[in-house]
Amino acid sequence: MISIDPSDKAPIFEQICKSVCRDIAAGVLCEGDRLPSARELAKLLQLNPNTVAKAYGMLERDGIIYSVQGKGCFVAKHEGKANEKLTENFRAAAREALGAGVTPGELTDIINELSRK
């Protein structure tokens, strides 16, 4: 389910977005599944509801979820949008790592290591 890491440098709303995308890509969340309300998730994760609302707004803007007035937020028809968002995030992280001096071989080793888990 949706999780955050307080020690992560990424903003909390971005962590929520990534977590939702990961859950969709992994099949944990499927088309039509209802997400917890912003208040419910904020209470569960001990966050400000506005932070969750911001994340949900970004996910809705990207077509990953949709909202129904009075009913809540739901996972939209995928069409690969969650995977696209994860790939976009991966590319940005890889670009940053390469810029910091990590070699392509080291990145490949990391990917291979993660794929074995």
**DSSP code, position 74:** E
Q: What share of the chain is helix, strand, coil (3-state, %, to 5)?
A: 55, 10, 35
Chunk the chain into consecutive blocks of 10 residues (it has 117) and report each block's average pLDDT, rounded to whole numbers.
Answer: 89 94 89 94 95 96 91 83 73 88 89 80
Give me the residue label for tokens 């990917």. 111
Residue 86's pLDDT is what? Answer: 72
User: Domains in the chain and their CATH numbers?
Assistant: 12-115 (1.10.10.10)
User: Are 94 and 105 within 8 A, CB to CB?
Assistant: no
Residue 113's pLDDT is what? Answer: 84
Residue 51's pLDDT is what? Answer: 97
User: Are 48 and 55 within 8 A, CB to CB?
Assistant: no
Residue 53's pLDDT is what? Answer: 96
Distance CA(67)–CA(54), nearest Å, equals: 13
Residue 117's pLDDT is what? Answer: 67
pTM of the shown model: 0.69
